[in-house]
Amino acid sequence: MKRAAANPSRRNVHPGRNSAQAIAVTAPNTTLPAGILQGDRRAIARAISEVENETAAGDAIIRGIHAHLGHALVLGITGPPGGGKSTLVSELIGAFTRRGRSVAVVAVDPSSPFSGGALLGDRIRMERHALAERVFIRSLASRGHLGGLSRAVFRVVDVLDAAGFETIIVETVGAGQSEVEIADIADIRVVVCPPGLGDDIQAIKAGILEIADIFVVSKCDLPLADRTELELNYLVGLRPDRSRQPRILRVTATTGEGTAELADAIDAMAGACGRRREERLRERMRRMIAQEAGDAVRQRLHGVESAKLDELCAALGRGELRHEDAVAAAIRLAANGGA
């Protein structure tokens, strides 16, 4: 652990109320990132809201912390609705904090497509860690984003990474088969398979089989757990890439049985994660640049007075120009400031 971050004994836990408000309003680009890097909980909490709401302050925060990313081990937990993900996360929080590590959790629950509201219930299962010193839990609504996460979750993980949390656990919404977005964010992906899914386990294999590093047969106190384990063994055997065979572990999160073995398996894999994390960080930076570059091009093309651009648009309208050529020419124009 490289900084005092996420260690409340060494950080400013109580920023003055007025200064905290000033932070959000006047100088988000300097002070909120500083608070995050110090591991100040209120600053972290507010920063997450800013990046989640995609505000200008949120953009500034991301720019202010980008040099401090890539230290945390990011663990993704996915699996069907009600499969026992949150209960398992709670167990893992216990296991990792016992091993002396700080842990942050991002738990995503679905937003209602009708009202846009959401019931964020994952944390009920983690309530016993609410007061743990080196634990931070944040609930996010998916806000209409498909793929098991929310649009802002990458940036939320970045904030927690910059805050110095050593392990970050991301719980997806209850996922079926296509929600494999977790693969892009996590160093290690855990797929939770409760017993008694029946034919659904066949459905799960479609996307999730390929991304899993560890399968957890959850709720092993239930009678059908043996069968689920057998089916998983069979499905894993079908995987073409034999060099990356996932582990299959049994856990009963309600009693804690199997939790230590799961934490051991994660620790064993974490060592080998360096390269994947490097790639992920590069990918992350590219995503960030691509997004901001896109915004910048759009802004310039909308904002600038340019005879050349007018000409280009007219030619496109008359059908004298192919669409792709017009776009390529516009990007060149934007790069040259519209001239």
Ligand X SMILES: Nc1nc2c(ncn2[C@@H]2O[C@H](COP(=O)(O)OP(=O)(O)OP(=O)(O)O)[C@@H](O)[C@H]2O)c(=O)[nH]1
The least CB distance from residue 112 to ligand X, in Å, is 14
Does residue number 142 form part of the binding site for ligand X (CB under 6 A)?
Answer: no
Under the binding rule (CB under 5 A), the answer on residue 218 touching Mg ion is no
Q: How far is CA 156 from CA 185, 271, 333, in A?
A: 11, 24, 34
Q: Which of 46, 85, 134, 250 binds ligand X (CB under 6 A)?
A: 85
* Site membership for another protein, residue 274 (CB under 8 A): no
Of 109 and 187, the one with the shorter C-beta distance to another protein is 109
Q: How many CB atoms lie within 10 A of CB 68?
A: 18
Smaller CB separation from ligand X, 11 or 85:
85
3-state secondary structure of 215: strand
The dihedral over CA atoms of 112, 118, 122, 125, expressed in degrees to the nearest 10, equals -120
Name which of residues 74 to 103 contact Mg ion (CB under 5 A).
Answer: 85-86
- Minimum CB separation of residue 165 from another protein in Å reads 12
Residues contacting 338, CB < 8 A, separation 6+ = 300, 301, 304, 305, 306, 308, 309
Output b/e per residue, 172-202; b: 16+ Cβ within 10 A: bbbbbeebbbbbbbbbbbbbbbbbebeeebe
Residue 99 binds to another protein (criterion: CB under 8 A): no
**What residue has token string 């609504």?**
141
Question: Of 96 and 215, which CB lies nearer to another protein in the complex structure?
Answer: 96
Q: Minimal distance in Å, beta carbon 48 to another protein?
A: 7
Beta-sheet pairing, 167-171 with 188-193: unpaired
Task: Pick what 112 binds: Mg ion, ligand X, another protein, none; C-beta below 5 to 8 Å, kind-dependent.
Answer: another protein
Residue 82: name its binding partner from another protein, Mg ion, ligand X, none (Cβ under 5 to 8 Å by kind).
Answer: ligand X
- Contact set for ligand X, span 229-258 (CB under 6 A): 252-254
For 269-298, letters b (16+ CB in 10 Å) and e give beeebeeebeebeeebeeebeeeeeeeebe
Cβ proximity of 89 and 171 under 8 Å: yes
- Check residue 122 for interaction with Mg ion (CB under 5 A): yes
Cβ partners under 8 Å of residue 268, min gap 6: none
Give the whole-angstrom CA distance, residue 102 versus residue 72.
Answer: 10
Q: Are 171 and 107 in contact (CB under 8 A)?
A: yes
| Binding of residue 127 to ligand X (CB under 6 A) | no
For the CB of residue 253, give the shortest distance to Mg ion in the complex, in Å.
Answer: 11
Which of the choices Mg ion, another protein, ligand X, none does residue 222 contact, using the CB cut-off of 5 to 8 A by kind? ligand X
Tokens of 117: 């509201």
Report if residue 41 touches another protein, rule: CB under 8 A: yes
> Which is nearer to ligand X, 221 or 320 (by Cβ)?
221
Contact residues: ligand X, CB under 6 A = 81-87, 122, 125, 174, 218-219, 221-222, 252-254
Per CB under 8 A, residues contacting another protein are 14-17, 20-21, 41-42, 44-46, 48-49, 52-55, 59, 111-112, 115-121, 123-124, 127, 130-131, 136-139, 141, 143, 151-152, 291, 295
For Mg ion, the binding residues (CB under 5 A) are 85-86, 122
